[in-house]
């Protein structure tokens, strides 16, 4: 086990406190990156003290390949207009930063009032673009991890802790 359920819960509560403080008095639109971020986003939203709305995006860059094509496309776009809103992208894990940077730039072009990123896990050793999240739960080594929304071939998402897949 890399991170226990208790460690994750404590970190989610701490992130929610910090985000709620930073967005005090404002409604925040949480944008979850599917599929992996849905559990983290639900727990984060329940811990936040500011009003929240939610929407989801899904991006594809791999197709049937094992390496990124470098091209991204939305396979599920937002239903909510962003202009003038305070937006927080909620991601499960950030490694190369390519997908998240692409998403950030696409959403920024939609003219939100503010745009920030929270990620539960960060693998800075894998970064290929200069992109940093505003809020980071845990920095981890370059492990393939599953659980708490993270999967391997659609398995293990329902685990309450995060494990290194061997």
Residue-wise pLDDT tens digits, 33-51: 999 999 999 999 999 999 9
* Class of the CATH-defined domain 5-164: alpha beta
Q: Where are the domains of the chain?
A: 5-164
Which two tokens mark 112?
A: 């939100």
Hey, how many other C-beta atoms are within 10 angstroms of the C-beta on 2?
17
Q: Identify the three-state secondary structure at position 105.
A: helix
The 10s digit of each residue's pLDDT in 14-29 is: 999 999 999 999 999 9
Hey, how many other C-beta atoms are within 10 angstroms of the C-beta on 152?
12
Give dist(CA 29, CA 79) in Å, integer. Answer: 12
The 10s digit of each residue's pLDDT in 76-101 is: 889 999 999 999 999 999 999 998 99
Q: Which residue among 43, 95, 122, 151 is the active-site one?
A: 95
Burial 28-56 (b: 16+ CB within 10 A, else e): bbbbbbebbbbbbbbbbbebbebebeebb
Whether 95 is a known active-site residue: answer yes
């Amino acid at each position: 086990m890399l991170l226990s359920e208790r460690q994750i819960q404590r970190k989610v509560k701490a992130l929610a406190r910090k985000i709620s403080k930073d967005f005090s008095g404002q409604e925040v639109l949480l944008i979850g990156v599917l599929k992996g971020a849905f559990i983290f986003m639900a727990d984060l939203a329940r811990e936040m003290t500011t009003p929240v709305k939610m929407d989801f995006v899904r991006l594809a860059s791999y197709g049937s390949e094992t390496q990124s094509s470098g091209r991204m496309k939305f396979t599920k776009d937002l239903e909510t207009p962003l202009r003038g809103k305070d937006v927080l992208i909620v991601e499960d894990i950030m490694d190369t930063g390519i997908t998240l940077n692409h998403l950030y730039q696409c959403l920024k072009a939609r003219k939100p009032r503010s745009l920030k990123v929270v990620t539960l896990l960060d693998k800075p050793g894998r970064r290929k673009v200069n992109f940093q999240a505003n809020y980071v739960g845990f920095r981890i080594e370059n492990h393939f991890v599953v659980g708490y929304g993270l999967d391997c071939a659609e398995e293990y998402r329902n685990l309450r802790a995060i494990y290194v897949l061997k």
